[in-house]
Structure 1
Amino acid sequence: MRIHGSTATVLNVNLDIYGMKKMTSKSIKAMVASVTVGMLFILIGCSKVTQTTETVTTQTKSPSNSEETQGIVLLSGLPTLGTKDSIAILEMDPESPQFGDILYEYELPKYDAPLHHLYYSPNGRLYATGLGTQCSLAEVLLSRDAQGAPSINDVTCLDTQGQSVGEDIMWHTVNGKPHMFVTFMGGTGLDQVDAGSVGVFDPQSNELIKIIEARKSMVGEGQPYIMYPHGISAFGDRMVVTSSVHPNLTDGVGNAITVIDLNTLEPIENIVTEDAKPVGYPSSPVEVLFVRPSIVEGVEPAVLVNTMFGFETWKIPYNESDKSFGTPVKLYDGASAGTGVPLEFYGNQNELFISHGLPGVVKRYSLTDLPELVSSGADIQAEAGAHHMIFYKTASGKDVIAIQNNLLNLGNAADEDPTDVDFIAKLNHHSLTVHDLATGERLGEINIKERYNKGIDNIEALFGSGFVHHH
């Protein structure tokens, strides 16, 4: 979508389209309060649970299909359509007669909230974070059966010692010792208005080593805090996490990132990334990427931050010699450019991709020019709620990108779903679109809701081949 005119005109048009223009702080709070109807039943705390599948459905694969063109997805059952949460393997090659088919499906137990993100560890183990308390972090036992076909043997919920609402996972080595770091937006209690923690786990045993927690109400005035952490990234002995929004979507919104010293596993600094407030709310930093030499050889390190409610992308310079962070610089202003709700950072060997939920586009930038955002091509036109993505080749060798167009898996009034929120519903296209990576041309679309009566929460490539850089 291209909008011409002044900044004010662009913003007003954008907010009219997505139902946000007339929202006051009070009405926004009322709006997001209704989102939490389905979360009010969440019990505080997290137990260690091991569940096995209830049903497994498989379909015969065509001999021409390749695992490289298959995606693994988290699907949410929709309450009015009688469907259940599952993990599924989809054929994603638009050249295949089975495009969009579920090749394998593993039905999940009924947790208090859906699983949310899939992550592969450096040694190929598959993990999932979850939006509730019963299963906020899990290992998915993905393997191949006796015939060599992909299968899931179990989903094991891990002991987080009460940390809830898991979001992002990162593996990082500090002083020669590897760790698995997980952000928990609900921290150690959803009743805490300043909730949030980072869990440090042993990447081999999955045992919790430490809870990094610094609630704003519990630290001194002006002292560094961790609140509603979502995005996570690291370079050397410095880790950054974002302060996004309380998981009940009513108790608070953040506007900063937190720097954590990985030598001490303690927060040492907060950095505000906020300018205009196009929806009248704090900026809500969501995902963060520490640009570093392992991504771009010889790069001057810096942190890139997407602000969900600020519609902006920021750069925070980093001085490696004295480990200091500079003044944040706004690189992209979505309010004036006609986009909103920037979400993910992904990259391949040549480009960085940033998804924008409104109106549903993926912008692309030259990897070698980072940390500056230098366009490397036209926007890829997806659908509302553009979010996660994977990269792969079709059977004929064409490079493609698949984009998940769904923000949060909530229903709408047409389904008589009590979680209906107009703004959120307009960020849920419930689809996957596949595009030619060179031209942006749309080659195919799979509407998960229309085809399977489910919503889609996340997509990754089968066995982890779908991207080079993530977050």
Structure 2
Amino acid sequence: MKRFITTFLASSALALVAGIASAEQTALVLYETKGADQSEREDGIAFVELDPTSPDYGQILAQIPLPEDFFSHHIFYNPSRTKAYVTSLNTPELRVLDLSAFPYRHTSVEVAGCAVGEDVSFSEAQGKWYLTCMGSSVVIVGDARTDEVLETLTMPAPWPHGIATNDAIDRQLVTSTVNPSDMTQWGEEIVVMQPSTGKVLSTHKVSDRPSPSGAGPVEAFFVPGVEPALAYITNMDGSLWLAEWRPGLEIFEFHEGFRFDELGQGMTLEVYFNAEGDRAYVTSAKPGNLNAFDITDPRAPRHLWATETAGGAHHLVFSPDGGRAYVQNSLLNIEGMNDGSISVIDLATGEQMDSINTFKDAGLTINTIVLTPEAEDSHSH
């Protein structure tokens, strides 16, 4: 597999350096060796061409290797898109990429006490970043300019994973997801925090079923441009919940909005919004689907279609014209949910147009996909 990567580097790296800014659509993906056998493990960041008219379509243009024991998981850009933060499932660190010059250089930021680093969120008002640590049930707060760790916040509900920040209302939503040491133990709560003070304000169960409900809230996403604020919450049990902000009371009200398990889907994961703000796209990992919603009325999302992708449907990026979605198919390298392909979906019809199998065919799987930082990508995440 290392020979596979090297071949693409030799043939394409120079072209990438000269032309990455002019390429129609280049994505960054985190990849790792697929399956249980990790004896010859690879871990890294790859540049992949997604423009179907390019001679390099679907191919790896270059890569940034990461330590084999890092177990890279997610990439998050800071608001100015000058830095990228890569989380680690295995080591107490963030890898921070300087995006001001190519090739990107990365440094390691120690986040002591963080086990199973998951998501990073940013508060521009506070000048801070927030890292959820699912294995140690804390949120670590850092200075967004210097990346110095400032404090560690212990969560009242275990296994924090997703985190969403809304500076306009001075609130954060943190999900309580799953015990990474025993994935039969799922959380069921959302923690509401106040970024300006770091205080926990309340906790809320996001299930109508008796406790322990096994809801497993994964992520929370504020719907762009909606006032009063509104967030969508994805649950591992196959449901979508809504958190509606009540300005007069300064609280959220939570209620169920849709059930994917009634469509035979489980492990609901991510929500992405189109640039026009009238569509939301939701992935579910088991058996692997992309769902489209009409959110003309964002408080009453209307399901339009579901299309099967492949096991582990997780993150996605949009084409420049918004007509295609590229869905990365793998969740935590779990057997049956680690296909390793990228499904290309026509968003007008919900039909699969293509499957990019470059990583899958090389014995690799993909943990996340984001567009390169210069892309106009503000309505995804």
| Secondary structure class of the residue paired with 1:59 | helix
Write the mapping of 1:30-429 to structure 2, written as runs, cut at 5 A: 57-60=9-12, 61=15, 66-78=22-34, 79=37, 82-111=40-69, 113-124=70-81, 125-135=83-93, 137-145=94-102, 151-153=103-105, 155-174=106-125, 177-187=126-136, 196-214=137-155, 225-235=156-166, 236-250=169-183, 252-276=185-209, 282-291=214-223, 295-297=224-226, 299-308=227-236, 310-326=237-253, 328-350=254-276, 351-375=279-303, 377-393=304-320, 399-409=323-333, 424-429=334-339
Deviation of 1:170 after TM superposition, in Å, equals: 1.2
1:74-102: CA deviations, max 9, x gaps? Answer: 11134457351111101112333322211
In structure 2, C-alpha distance between the alignment counterparts of 1:244 and 1:58, rounded to whole Å: 42
For 1:343 and 1:58, the matched residues in 2 are separated by: 36
- Give TM-score scaled by structure 2 length: 0.87
Q: Is the 8 A contact 1:312 1:342 kept in 2?
A: yes
**5+ residue gaps in structure 2?**
1-5
CA shift at 1:388, angstroms?
0.1
Q: In the aligned structure 2, how far is the partner of 1:370 from the partner of 1:72? A: 30
CA deviations 1:226-265 (Å, max 9, x no partner) are 4211111122211110000122235842111001122320
Out of 371, 378, 381, the residue aligned to residue 468 of structure 1 is 378
Q: As a proportion of its length, which structure holds more strand?
A: 2
| Letter of the structure 2 residue corresponding to residue 371 of structure 1 | R
Q: Give the TM-score normalised by the residue count of structure 1.
A: 0.71
Structure-2 change in CA distance of 1:64 and 1:156 (3 Å):
closer
Whichever of the two has the greater Rg, that structure is: 1
Give the distance between the partners of 1:67 and 1:76, measured in 2 at CA. 25
**Alpha-carbon offset, residue 142 of structure 1:** 3.8
Q: Which amino acid aligns with 1:433?
A: S
**What's the offset of the Cα at 1:464?**
5.3
1:433 corresponds to which residue? 343
SS in 1 for 2:361: helix
Tell me the alpha carbon deviations over residues 182-221 of structure 1, each in whole angstroms, 9 at most, x when there is no partner.
111123xxxxxxxx1111111110011121114xxxxxxx
Q: How far is the alpha carbon of 1:408 from its aligned partner?
A: 1.2
Choose 339-348 or 261-270, whichever is displaced more: 261-270
**Letter paired with 1:59:** S
Residues 391, 401 of structure 1: 8 Å contact kept: yes
How many percent of aligned residue pairs carry the same amino acid?
28
Which whole-Å CA distance do the structure 2 matches of 1:281 and 1:390 have between them? 32
> 2:316, 2:369 within 8 Å by CA — same for their partners in 1?
yes
Distance (whole Å) between structure 2 residues aligned to residue 324 and residue 400 of structure 1:
37
Residue equivalent to 1:447: 357
Contact 1:296 1:367 in 2 (8 A): no
Higher RCO structure (Cα 8 Å, ≥6 apart): 1
Structure 1 residues 132 and 398 mapped into 2: Cα distance closer, same or farther (>3 Å)? closer
For the residue of structure 2 that corresponds to 1:336, the secondary structure is helix
Deviations 1:333-382 (A, max 9, x none): 1222221111001112132111111232211223432132123x433432
Structure 1, unpaired ranges of 5+: 1-54, 146-150, 188-195, 215-224, 410-423
